[in-house]
Amino acid sequence: MTVINQRDGWIVNIQIKSTIEPHQEKNIQAVLNELGVVYTPSKLINSVLMKLKSGATITEVMCHYYVSIVSHGVPKCDDIEVFRTDVIKGLGYCPQYLA
């Protein structure tokens, strides 16, 4: 799972490494549809995801592409909460996309 933050919202890229049953896939898709909209990645985001997949570190990719990668790999909710808290603290208010 990769979580990227942008000014207008979040990008969550999920890759499942094992085969799942069709009904499980439909359930996962239903949950994701409730949480947001289907997003077709831009060329920039595609490049970011490919670079991460090739083994580059989060820091290398963020410095090269100027994107905010909040988490990559095994999902870590703590990473997202720390990012959210730091942004709110730095801005002095909570933007809508972080509420």
Q: Specify if 80 maps to a domain.
A: no
Question: Does residue 88 lie in a domain region?
Answer: no
Evaluate whether residue 17 is within a structural domain: yes
Mean local confidence (pLDDT), 23-37: 86
Smallest CA-to-CA distance from 9 within 87, 98, 83, 94 is with 98
Looking at residues 34-45, what average pLDDT do you find? 86
Cβ atoms of 66 and 1 closer than 8 Å: no
Residue 58 belongs to domain spanning: 2-74
Is there a domain that residue 45 lies in? yes
pTM of the predicted model as reported, rounded to 2 decimal places: 0.79
Nearest partner of 58 among 41, 40, 76, judged by Cα: 76
Mean pLDDT (whole number) for 48-71: 94
Is 68 among the domain residues? yes
Confirm whether 47 is domain-assigned: yes
Q: What percent of the chain has pLDDT over 70?
A: 100
HSE-up of residue 23 (Cα within 13 Å, Cβ side): 0
Q: pLDDT value at position 45?
A: 95
CB contact at 8 A, 70 and 3: yes
pLDDT at 28 (0 to 100): 85
Number of domain units in the chain = 1
**Of 51, 12, 14, which is closest to residue 35 (Cα–Cα)?**
12
Q: Do the domain assignments include residue 65? A: yes
What are 55's two structure tokens? Answer: 């083994």
Position 56 confidence tier, pLDDT thresholds 50, 70, 90: very high
- What pLDDT does residue 99 have? 74
Flag whether 31 is in a domain.
yes
Q: Does residue 13 surpass a pLDDT of 80?
A: yes
Mean pLDDT of 8-28: 87
